[in-house]
Amino acid sequence: MAQEEQAIKWYTFEEATALNKENPKMVIVDVYTDWCGWCKKMDKETFTDAEVISYLNDHFYAVKLDAENNGKKFEFKGEEYTEASMARAMRVSSYPNFVIIDSTMENITQLPGYRKPEAFIKDLKTTIQRFGKD
């Protein structure tokens, strides 16, 4: 197999919902804004870390959600949302914020704020231990 640069597989909300029906996993929603410096730092430092990439791809469907995007609409649980209205529905008011949704597509917790790779993985493992069925 060719050696290619590892990256987090980011899905749309619709893709993560559909994949979850086939193969249930937790969903992690990275709620960000374009002007958020800490969000950019997460993208540049934490989301490029090989361990973080591997852990997220193995245990979660990862979704990026722009808290200020009112453009494209999508449906979730019979309701129509934009990324901005979904962020409000999830009660996100600071960025970056990571909303964890369990395999039944219920919000279970939030991990607000910037995290270095080691701390991020530790928090994700703790979340899976607390809420997962693994």
**DSSP code at position 20:** H
Average pLDDT of 83-103? 94
- Residues 86, 69 contacting (CB under 8 angstroms): no
Average pLDDT of 92-112? 92
Task: Using DSSP bridges, classify how beta strands 97-101 and 107-112 pair: parallel, antiparallel or unpaired.
Answer: antiparallel
pLDDT for position 105: 86
How confident is residue 94, by pLDDT bands cut at 50, 70 and 90? very high
Distance CA 28, CA 36 (A): 19
What is the token pair recorded at 19? 């994949």
10-111 CATH pick, 1.10.3470.10, 3.40.50.150, 3.60.40.10, 3.40.30.10:
3.40.30.10
Q: Which residues contact residue 88 at a Cβ distance below 8 angstroms, ignoring those fewer than 6 apart?
A: none
Q: pTM score, two decimals? A: 0.92
Q: Which residues pair with 99 in a beta bridge?
A: 29, 110
CA angle 61, 64, 68 (to 5 degrees): 150
Q: Please give the mean pLDDT across all residues of the chain.
A: 92
